[in-house]
Amino acid sequence: MSSSQAPDDQQGGGDPPGDLRSVLVTSVLNLEPLDEDLFRGRHYWVPTTQRLFGGQIVGQALVAAAKSVSEDVHVHSLHCYFVRAGDPKVPVLYQVERTRTGTSFSVRSVKAVQHGKPIFICQASFQQAQPSPLQHQFSMPAVPPPEELLDHEALIDQYLRDPNLQERYRVGLNRIAAKEVPIEIKLVNPPILSQLQSKEPKQMFWVRARGHIGEGDMKMHCCVAAYISDYAFLGTALLPHQWQCNVHFMVSLDHSMWFHNPFRADHWMLYECESPWAGGSRGLVQGRLWRRDGILAVSCAQEGVIRVQSRVSESKL
């Protein structure tokens, strides 16, 4: 298998049913070239916060960076900062700077701009494939396969049929159900409503892009993984506090990724997320994307601002 291609049979799971091309490829990550190293990105899905989805900006920035390197090099890491809220009413311009082009490694800097000001900055490093006798990885957690789990839509429907569900949760779940998110999710240990308050800051879910991407160029699968990696990621830090606090403001500050092995983003991958720390109105989350054959594909880390108000304080107002 060429290093420029994502694995097919090795990852397992086969192609998603049907041959519908993923909207992540045809629309979300399909940038419009305006000039050399200058691109325009548009929006597909906007969260209820009416701020641009961070994963979209990371994915589009990586697409822009990847267009400025040769075919024989592939991203191995990226480090990003969100510096302003994105405006969903206007497109985003991506300006690429060719910081360094070396024999083995090349670095690209990307600035995302709206209204004449940067909203996001990113540095991505690309490497030419090199063999290495030094190899090791953690072991993938033992979890049920995605075929044995409810998809996100079916799980939400199950919650909504519970007659004891509080109205504020019913409203939130209906909002989630109405989203047209271009990824599929299956929670490994879906929370039981009566156990929400004792949830650890850890979660695992199977995830893949909706629709077909194909074996194709590994660069596109990395860009899709960048989009996927930000979905529900920072929310891991809220899991122990859902019943004690109301979230007034939650937004990503930075996002980093390291790409280890080829994968297909339209095949099921296990997203293992945990939050080792929260404090100072910030939360830290770490994640690993596993191929279902046990190969570690991607590692992620993110810190975000989380401002909350105690439900106890609210009850006294």
- Residue 38: count of CB within 10 angstroms of its CB: 15
CA distance 111 to 60: 11
Residues 209 and 213: their CA atoms lie apart, in Å, by: 8
What is the rounded CA–CA span in Å between residue 73 and residue 142?
33
With beta carbons less than 8 A apart as the criterion, state whether 225 and 263 touch.
Answer: yes
The beta strands (E) that lie in 188-268 are given as 202-209, 245-259
Under 8 Å between Cβ of 184 and 153: no
Tokens of 46: 């906007």
C-alpha–C-alpha distance, residues 166 and 152, integer Å:
19
Structure-token pair, residue 36: 């050399």
Largest CA distance in the chain: 64
Question: Out of 203, 229, 252, 256, which one is annotated catalytic?
Answer: 252
Q: Is 222 helix (H, G, I), strand (E, B) or coil?
A: helix
Q: Which amino acid, 65?
A: A
Any catalytic annotation for residue 242? Answer: no
Q: Which of 11, 68, 123, 302 is catalytic?
A: 302
Q: Which residue has the tokens 């092995």?
A: 261
Active site residue 15: no
Q: Choosing from 11, 230, 256, 266, which is the catalytic residue?
A: 230
Q: What is the Cα–Cα distance from 286 to 303, expressed in whole angstroms? A: 9
- For residue 70, indicate whether it is catalytic: no
- Return the active site residues: 230, 252, 302
